[in-house]
Amino acid sequence: MDWADRIGRRVRLRDLHIVLAVAEHGSMAKASEYLAISHPVISKTISDLERTLGVRLFDRHSQGVELTLYGKALANTGLHVFDEMRQGLKQLESLTDPTAGELRVGSPEIIMAGLMPPIIERFSREYPHVKLQAVLESSPAVQVQQLRERKIDLLIARTSQLSPADDLTTEILFDEPFCAVVGARSRWARQRQLQLNNILNEPWILPPYDSVAGLLILQIFRADKLEPPRPLITTLSVQLTVALIATGGFVGLLPSSVARFNAGRAALKILPIELAGARIAAGIMTLKNRTLTPLTAKFIECTRIVARSIA
């Protein structure tokens, strides 16, 4: 019997579950309470694993425990094992009923405000029994971490905010321009011929210029050789931007899909101004070595159809 067989027979799923719980809670006592397993059993399981593997998995200190380099490798293996089991169970569920199950989709607010609603509307119409969890997270780093930790099945995001990684696959859906937008009651809403410099002195609501979105917007003004306006309101919230523009008192720049989706719902008017410069892309991100469930594949296909209509 070789080393792999020997270890394989002695490391159980229960052991990996305990390692993950201790790592998550940073304490054997807290993991014991969470798992409803006695503290001595938790401690013995960890000690037996360390003896079997021949490495220290946790560093003990007065505040609790912390994964060592070896422990992190084992915990990562445990995440993969349990994720594949979950994916396998979802596959079995889909074989029983291909139109039911659960799906977790992550995205930032700018996707939630534009692209996501028509995707979910189409998907829910075709698969009304699927329980869909739309996970909102603004930090690109946290979004990708949620994907790596299998807390979401796929990520739909603005690709300019994401860094390429060897363990991830990104499919670009489209890239789109920004639009100049006012409220439907604004005096500018009735104009048929406009240039960007015509509205330069209006009250603007824009993202901070030192943000990712703000840097893209700076490119638009510079492409027209214009001094960027000093916005009256600065915010990264798409929801707040849309709400304030809809009052008729502000001018803003939004990605085309966000502006179009909210034009009827929030009484916005897209101004007839062709904006040069920056475009912003949207894409689907998945883990390279993770088997997609049938539901995930169906959601991705719905996303492609909606994206084609926008592009």
> Is the pLDDT at 49 greater than 50, yes or no?
yes
Q: Which residues pair with 105 in a beta bridge?
A: 134, 154
pLDDT at 1 (0 to 100): 41
Mean pLDDT of the chain: 87
pLDDT at 292 (0 to 100): 84
pTM value surpassing 0.75: no
CA–CA distance, 258 with 243 (Å, rounded to integer): 13
Would you state the structure tokens that stand for residue 6, as one six-digit string?
């020997």
For the segment 1-19, the average pLDDT, to the nearest whole number, is 70
Q: Which residues pair with 279 in a beta bridge?
A: 177
Domains of the chain (ranges; CATH) run 3-75 (1.10.10.10), 78-174+283-310 (3.40.190.10), 175-280 (3.40.190.290)
pLDDT at 161 (0 to 100): 61
CA–CA distance, 114 with 1 (Å, rounded to integer): 57
36 class by beta-carbon count within 10 Å (0-12 exposed, 13-18 middle, 19+ buried): exposed
Neighbours of 20 (CB within 10 A): 18
CA–CA distance, 218 with 244 (Å, rounded to integer): 21
3-state helix, strand, coil in the chain (%, to 5): 50, 20, 30
Which of 152, 50, 117, 148 has its CA nearest to residue 257? Answer: 117
Q: Where residue 5 falls among pLDDT bands split at 50, 70, 90? A: low
- Are residues 169 and 286 in contact, defined by beta-carbon separation less than 8 angstroms? yes
For the segment 115-123, the average pLDDT, to the nearest whole number, is 93
> Is the pLDDT at 16 greater than 90, yes or no?
no
> Is the pLDDT at 215 greater than 80, yes or no?
yes
